[in-house]
Chains A and B, each alone.
Chain A
Amino acid sequence: MIRTLQERGVHQGIDVFMECTVVGLLKDGDRVGGAIAYWRETGRFVIFRAKAVVLATGGYGKAWKVTSNSWEYTGDGHALAYEAGAELIDMEFFQFHPTGMIWPPGVMGILITEAVRGEGGVLTNSKGERFMWKYLPDNKRKEFAETPEESQKWVDMVVAGKQTDARRPPELSTRDNVARAIYTEVKEGRGTPHGGVWLDISFQDSDRVKKKLPSMYHQFKDLADVDITKQPMEVGPTAHYAMGGIRADPDSGASTVPGLFAAGECTGGMHGANRLGGNSLSDLVVFGRRAGMGAADFAKQNAQWPSVNEDEIQNHVHRAIAPFERSGEDPYAVHSALQDVMGKYVGIFRNERDLEEGLRQLLSVRQRIENTHVEGSVLFNPGWHLARDLENLAVCAEATCRAALLRKESRGAHSRTDFPKEDAKLAKVNMSVKKSQEGMAVSATPCPQMPDELRKLFE
Chain B
Amino acid sequence: MTGDCTFKVFRGDRSGGELREYKVPVETGMVVLDAIHWIQSHAAPDLACRWNCKAARCGSCSAEVNGRPKLMCKTRLDDFPQGEPITVRPMKAFPVLKDLVTDVSSNYAMAKKIPAFTPQPDAAWKWYQNDIDRVQEFRKCIQCFLCQDVCHVLREHNKHAVFAGPAFFVSAAALEMHPIDGLDRTPLLKEALGIGYCNITKCCTEVCPEDIHITDNAIIPLKERVVDRYYDPLLRLWRKIRRLRAGAT
Residues of A within 8 A of B (CB): 3-4, 7-8, 10-11, 41, 70-72, 103-107, 110-111, 215, 218-219, 222-225, 330-333, 336, 374-377, 379-384, 386
Contact = CB atoms under 8 A, between A and B. Distances in A.
B117 interface: yes
Contacts of B108: 10
A3 B46 CA distance: 31
Nearest to B210: A218
Contact of A70 (B27, B46, B52): B52
A377 B44 CA distance: 12
A267 B5 CA distance: 44
A103 B29 contact: yes
Interface in B42-75: 42, 45-49, 51-57, 74
Contacts of A331: 45
A71 B51 contact: yes
A413 to B, nearest CB: 23
B116 A382 contact: no
A147 to B, nearest CB: 35
Contacts, number: 100
Given A70-B53, A104-B29, A380 B40 contact: no
Interface of B: 13, 27-31, 33-34, 40-42, 45-49, 51-57, 74, 76, 97-99, 101, 108, 111-112, 115-117, 139
Contacts of B98: 41, 379-380
A11 B40 contact: no
Given A41-B97, A223-B29, A10 B45 contact: no
24 contacts: A11-B115, A41-B98, A70-B52, A71-B52, A104-B27, A105-B30, A105-B34, A106-B27, A106-B29, A106-B30, A107-B55, A110-B53, A110-B54, A222-B56, A223-B55, A333-B41, A376-B45, A376-B46, A380-B98, A381-B48, A382-B49, A383-B46, A384-B46, A386-B45
Nearest to A104: B29
Q: Is the interface of B mostly helix, strand, loop or mixed?
A: loop
Nearest to A111: B55
Nearest to B52: A70
Contact of B54 (A4, A70, A379): A70
B99 A10 contact: no
Given A104-B28, A106-B31, A383 B45 contact: yes
Contact of B74 (A111, A222, A377): A222
B31 A223 contact: yes
A3 to B, nearest CB: 7
Nearest to A215: B57
B100 to A, nearest CB: 10
A105 B27 contact: yes
B46 A381 contact: yes
Given A104-B29, A107-B29, A384-B46, A332 B97 contact: no
A106 B45 contact: no
A30 B53 CA distance: 38
A4 B98 CA distance: 30
A11 B116 contact: yes
Contacts of B30: 104-106
Contacts of B52: 70-72
Nearest to B54: A110
B112 A11 contact: yes
Given A111-B55, A222-B74, A379-B13, 6 more contacts: A104-B27, A218-B56, A333-B41, A381-B48, A384-B46, A386-B45
B40 A332 contact: yes
Nearest to A216: B55
B40 A382 contact: yes
A65 B76 CA distance: 22
Contacts of A3: 139
B66 to A, nearest CB: 18
A110 B53 CA distance: 8
Contacts of B97: 41, 379-380
A376 to B, nearest CB: 3
Given A106-B34, A107-B54, A382 B74 contact: no
A218 to B, nearest CB: 7
Contacts of B54: 70, 106-107, 110
A11 B114 CA distance: 9
B139 A382 contact: no
A287 to B, nearest CB: 24
Contacts of B29: 103-107, 223-225
Contact of B46 (A7, A110, A219, A382): A382
Contacts of A222: 56, 74, 76
B82 to A, nearest CB: 17
